[in-house]
């Protein structure tokens, strides 16, 4: 399967942290805080909207597209208002292609959270996180003959190393009982000869998910992953418009007979974060509509 058919949020992963735009709603650490990487567009945006409806104050991470992140913020605040949930959002930028991006990521988060009126309690050193969604990703294609190790490294850096670094540097920020959900890909469950580095990076995310679930279980932190199939992100929408026959082929191989929407995947992430899934950890949930059955 060509992994370009997969899902990744198209939030860019290069760029620097820029001043955050925040909602005017009052926010205190007593509120539930969620962080979603790659939340400016696509699945990340849909996840942030759902969490705001659930009452979370959502840190909307982006890599380079601040305008898209601010559009996402407007939609997050609108969704929270319509739901009457008390949720809200703020945006922050951080480059996940850096060697060890977790430190800069959390520094940018702290700055943006403070600007949004969110600060640690008096006896805490950091703002505590209730939910973390590792969604940001890149897709760099290429088979073994054409793609050198630089392609593999770039895929691994953003898709695998960045989530590891964010969790590593954020362990003391995670509240006991927090939830972590990472975005994998259908490319990880089978042969992906044309996008080998990408598939390897996502298979590593699934291994990370299981190992992290075991490591954090004593703190009652649940760790899971979702495995989307063909999803109508901005990148895929343009691709399908240019090659409609490819979309037809993907639909033909999907049991539910259509391409997924970002909110289809976001609904699964939302469920994993909810109390309804309190006995589920270390799981990789297929969210592909039955692709490849």
Tell me the two tokens of residue 280: 């589920």
Active-site residue 164, yes or no?
no
* CA 183/CA 134 separation, integer angstroms: 6
Active-site option among 184, 195, 201, 288: 184
Helices and strands (H, E) in the chain, number of each type = 9, 7
Measured N-to-C along each axis, helices 42-53 and 66-83 cross at an angle, to the nearest 10 degrees, of 30
Active-site residue 202, yes or no?
yes
Active-site option among 56, 62, 164, 198: 198
Active-site option among 154, 189, 202, 247: 202
Active-site residue 185, yes or no?
yes
Active-site option among 40, 185, 195, 288: 185
* CA 108/CA 196 separation, integer angstroms: 32
Tell me the two tokens of residue 223: 């760790």
Pairing of β 88-93 and β 57-62:
parallel
- Indicate the SS3 state at residue 154: helix
Length of the chain as a residue count: 293
Residues with active-site annotation: 184-185, 198, 202
């Amino acid at each position: 399967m060509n992994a370009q058919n997969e899902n990744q949020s198209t939030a860019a992963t290069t760029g620097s942290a820029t001043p955050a735009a925040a909602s005017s709603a009052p926010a205190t650490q007593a509120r539930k805080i969620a962080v979603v990487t790659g939340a400016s567009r696509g699945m990340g945006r849909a996840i942030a909207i759902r969490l705001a409806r659930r009452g979370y104050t959502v840190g909307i991470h982006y890599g380079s597209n601040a305008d898209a992140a601010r559009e996402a913020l407007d939609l997050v605040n609108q969704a929270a208002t319509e739901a009457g949930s008390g949720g809200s959002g703020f945006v922050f930028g951080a480059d996940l292609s850096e060697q060890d991006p977790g430190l800069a990521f959390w520094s940018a988060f702290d700055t943006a959270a403070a600007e949004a009126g969110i600060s640690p309690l008096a006896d805490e050193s950091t703002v505590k996180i209730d939910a973390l969604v590792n969604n940001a990703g890149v897709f760099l294609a290429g088979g073994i003959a054409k793609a050198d190790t630089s392609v593999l490294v770039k895929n691994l850096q953003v898709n695998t190393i960045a989530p590891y670094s964010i969790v590593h540097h954020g362990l003391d920020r995670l509240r006991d009982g927090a939830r972590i959900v990472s975005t994998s890909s259908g490319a990880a469950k089978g042969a992906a000869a044309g996008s080998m580095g990408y598939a390897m990076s996502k298979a590593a995310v699934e291994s990370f998910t299981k190992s992290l679930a075991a490591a954090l279980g004593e703190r009652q932190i649940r760790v899971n992953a979702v495995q989307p199939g063909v999803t109508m992100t901005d990148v895929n929408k343009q691709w399908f418009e240019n090659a409609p026959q490819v979309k037809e082929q993907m639909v033909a191989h999907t049991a539910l007979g259509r391409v997924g929407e970002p909110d289809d995947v976001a609904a699964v992430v939302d469920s994993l974060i909810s109390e309804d899934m309190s006995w589920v950890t270390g799981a990789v949930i297929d969210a592909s509509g039955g692709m490849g059955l």
